[in-house]
């Protein structure tokens, strides 16, 4: 088995397990965009656990990279990355959630909205890869 598939398999199992544990402990869906978007709200009494969640995401990725180094090459300019990030943020607002909320938690609950959203995410990803192969961008 190619090592990159193994990393994806491990990551998927960790995310799925985290979603289940998060739901059991908090009774909430683990949607990263929802948790992150409410992180800095002044009226939010839950800001501590939201901050711990976001820091855990960052530290988890950092420690995984330190334990299993993977070469990451980004072939895009800073402006392209900024625009891409803004588009992703805009898409999560329009779609009322992100891939973790819809694709992992929503589909596990058999939410019709999440199933449709995930189908759109996946179709967009396939189209992006196809266009990249055609145009070589």
pLDDT digits (tens, 9 = 90+) for 46-66: 778 888 888 998 898 888 888
- Tell me, what DSSP letter sits at residue 98? -
Q: Is 2's pLDDT higher than 80?
A: no
Provide the pLDDT for residue 79: 92
Provide the pLDDT for residue 109: 85
Q: Of the candidates 115, 86, 83, which has an alpha carbon nearest to the alpha carbon of residue 102?
A: 115
Q: Is 113's pLDDT higher than 60?
A: yes
Provide the pLDDT for residue 137: 62
pLDDT band at 42 (very low <50, low <70, confident <90, very high): low
User: Which CA distances in Å does 118 have to 56, 84, 106?
Assistant: 25, 19, 9
The mean pLDDT value of the chain amounts to 84
Question: Which of 18-27, 35-44, 65-74 comes out lowest in average pLDDT?
Answer: 35-44
Q: What percent of the chain has pLDDT over 70?
A: 95
């Amino acid at each position: 088995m190619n090592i990159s598939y193994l990393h994806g398999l491990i990551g998927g199992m960790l995310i799925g397990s985290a979603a289940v544990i998060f739901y059991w402990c908090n009774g909430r869906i683990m949607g990263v965009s929802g948790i992150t978007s409410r992180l800095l709200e002044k009226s939010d009494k839950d800001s501590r656990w939201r901050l711990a969640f976001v820091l855990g995401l960052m530290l988890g990725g950092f420690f995984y990279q330190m334990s299993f180094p993977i070469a990451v090459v980004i072939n895009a300019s800073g402006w392209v990355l900024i625009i891409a990030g803004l588009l992703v943020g805009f898409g999560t607002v329009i779609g009322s959630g992100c891939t973790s909320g819809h694709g992992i938690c929503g589909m596990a609950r058999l939410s019709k909205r999440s199933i449709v959203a995930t189908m759109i995410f996946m179709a967009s990803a396939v189209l992006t890869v196809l266009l990249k192969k055609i145009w070589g961008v």
